[in-house]
Chains A and B, each alone.
Chain A
Amino acid sequence: MKMFEYMGKELFAKYGLPVPKGRMATNPEDAAKIAAEIGGPCVVKSQVLSGKRGKAGGIKFPNTPEEAQKAAEEVLGMTIQGLPVQAILVEEKLKIDKELYMSITIDGSAKQAVLIASAYGGMDIEEQPEEYIIKRHIDPELGMKPFIARDVVRKMGVPVNSAHGKEIVKIIQILYKICLEKDAELVEINPLVFSDDKVIAADSKVTIDDDAMFRMKDLPIVDDRSPAERAAKDLGLSFVELDGEIAVMANGAGITMGTLDTLQAFGGTPKNFLDCGGGTGREATAKALDILFDLNPKAVFVNIFGGITRCDDVANAVKDQYEAKGGFPVPLVIRLVGTNQEAGREILASIGVEAFDFMEDAARRVIELAK
């Protein structure tokens, strides 16, 4: 789950990590009030889960409460990369002496968290030359010890005994603490700024591990999914909306990707990724099919290799949908093999649907029907 910048900063502040003065607002009047409290030049930042806010005009620099109100009016209601701006962050404008970069994320290959730091921040870290980037893997048994943080600071070229150096050592340890306690798979500060002798997080990017949400009761929930994605998630299925013509359901992430790849290789275009998982029963499968038809595709492709998933459950789900809808609005092609295959095919035959044995043949057929 990605958090808005202001939520990330609230989290930072709770852990004692320095952030600029200010808070979130959802209307221009509050923006003016916050600017008055700050009492000087401000920044008004659109709160959307996307980068490139500055380029899109979603960041403004008002000098007075009146200007802040006007800036808020302009930014609220903007659309940035398809995302409507519903909130803004009004903050003090920092005096910036230097911009740095700091993040902790998961390195799957190393099976460890990794700290990434650079004395050159502000832009995309991927665009920095390798020699400016410091990477330090975090041994989970050792944790983020002060000596490790000091060594990172040294490598950044910041004197360890300077006010800045001491502050960064603290910040690094706080970031790792947030990762562990909040199951954050990404915490990023870009830029981390030197402002006189202070070090301040001028931005925040925090992503919480979706799999850990069950133990994160005290965090705000950010839901940036489409209605179809939400409906699928409620069924416990993973869904991604794409922009093609053929709606797809398969059982398993790998085979679903393989199905999309096959469609594309044969000249078709997938409208979505829907992994109906293993062992999903008749009712949930029927609901999943309903999500597919709601996408208004040109055809629906169901590709099932039953292991835990039972073919008769899938066939019954198809039949339930067929009966509920009084026939299918668009052609449905199904490939159905595996556990209880024969029973499944008999059920399909009763509504005049023929099942394919091979993904290849079924994929060609559904592309033909979608034309």
Chain B
Amino acid sequence: MAIIIDENTNVLVMGITGRQASFHTKQMLAYGTKIVAGCTPGKGGASVEGIPVYNTVREACENHRIDASVIFVPAPATKDAALENIEAGVGVVVIVTEGVPVYDEIEIVAYAKRKGAIILGPNTFGIVSGGKCKMGIPPNQYFIEGNVGVVARSGTLTYEITGNLTANGLGQSTVVGMGGDRAVGLTFIDVLKMFEKDDQTEAIVMIGEIGGNSEEIAAEYIKEMTKPVVAFIAGKSAPPGKRMGHAGAIIERGKGTYQGKVDALNAAGAKVAPLPFDVPQLVKEALGIK
């Protein structure tokens, strides 16, 4: 099954004529993603990798069924692009763009909630349903089909950990990047609930980091889950008050610490990997693989 996207998902690429977007359109097509349309205002009628480009999302929707969009536009234009997709009725919007102002994010997330759309990001690597569909920017070769669900806030760390899973023969149902910013569309709980219901997923890897309290909130739900959860939390060595790259990765006023998150997860019965490369062994143990 996988969650959020699969082999039947029709994808639109927002900003498809840009340098990064056209490169990643090629990579996504190579992974098997069904990209049916692109959109760049003013570039309607063009084509990128054989994909037709439209001026507006509504125009694309008049010509194709669009299930999901992936946004590659500069930060100042991201709010408009995201709202355009949600307004047109696109159900899944993946926002790769980094550096989006937080009040823009709040507006996007609120509108998506009202319209029932799923938002990944901003500042996400995207989402991959192993062997079926990839939206976003992760390198193709590290993502294979399997029964491990992965949910994360950060990109390259997810490649590192998913790459280790793949090297250990542990494929993935879906790898979900929620985004590294403060106001992103989904929470760990939202995604854990989807994995709990998904037939293909048998174990879940949760990759968190210092800052905020979404890991602690997730721990409350993990207590009720039937499927095993293995977690890694980045930022154990981070000093308080310093923003570690991601806007959300900061220990403020004693909140969002490494230890607080690890304690909450341990208490919920999740297994916490001390270092990124300890994850595969814990997943194997959780799945009863020797």
Any A CB within 8 A of the CB of B253: yes
Per-residue 0/1 for B199-214: is the Cβ within 8 Å of any A Cβ (1 yes, 0 no)? 0000000010111111
How big is the B interface, by class?
Answer: 35 or more
Known: A106-B182, A126-B254, A255-B156. A111 touches B274 (CB 8 A): no
Neighbour of A211 across the interface among B100, B158, B207, CB < 8 A: B100
Any B CB within 8 A of the CB of A339: yes
Per-residue 0/1 for B92-132: is the Cβ within 8 Å of any A Cβ (1 yes, 0 no)? 00000001111101110110001000000000010000000
Query: Interface residue count for A (Cβ, 8 Å)?
Result: 54
Per-residue 0/1 for B263-277: is the Cβ within 8 Å of any A Cβ (1 yes, 0 no)? 000000000001111
A278–B249 contact, CB under 8 A?
no
Which residues from chain A contact B183 at a C-beta distance below 8 Å? Answer: 106, 108, 111-112
A255–B157 contact, CB under 8 A?
yes
Any A CB within 8 A of the CB of B261: no
B207–A254 contact, CB under 8 A?
yes
Classify the secondary structure of A's interface with B: mixed
Bound Cα distance from A212 to B211, whole angstroms: 21
Neighbour of B157 across the interface among A109, A209, A257, A273, CB < 8 A: A257
Any A CB within 8 A of the CB of B20: yes
Most buried by B among A109, A180, A257: A257
Per-residue 0/1 for B165-208: is the Cβ within 8 Å of any A Cβ (1 yes, 0 no)? 00000000000000010111101000000000000000000010
Neighbour of A109 across the interface among B207, B213, B234, CB < 8 A: B213
Which residues from chain B contact A252 at a C-beta distance below 8 Å? Answer: 154-157, 245
A258–B103 contact, CB under 8 A?
no
Any A CB within 8 A of the CB of B63: no
Question: Taking beta carbons and an 8 Å cutoff, which residues of B are in contact with A?
Answer: 20, 75-76, 99-103, 105-107, 109-110, 114, 125, 137-139, 152-160, 163, 180, 182-185, 187, 207, 209-214, 217, 232, 234-239, 242-249, 253-254, 274-277
Question: Taking beta carbons and an 8 Å cutoff, which residues of A are in contact with B?
Answer: 106, 108-109, 111-113, 124, 126, 139-141, 179-180, 183, 185, 209-212, 214-215, 238, 240, 242, 250-258, 260-265, 270, 273, 275, 278-279, 305-308, 337-339, 358-360
Can you give 10 contacting A-B residue pairs, CB < 8 Å? A141-B110, A252-B154, A254-B234, A256-B245, A257-B157, A257-B237, A273-B242, A307-B138, A307-B156, A308-B137
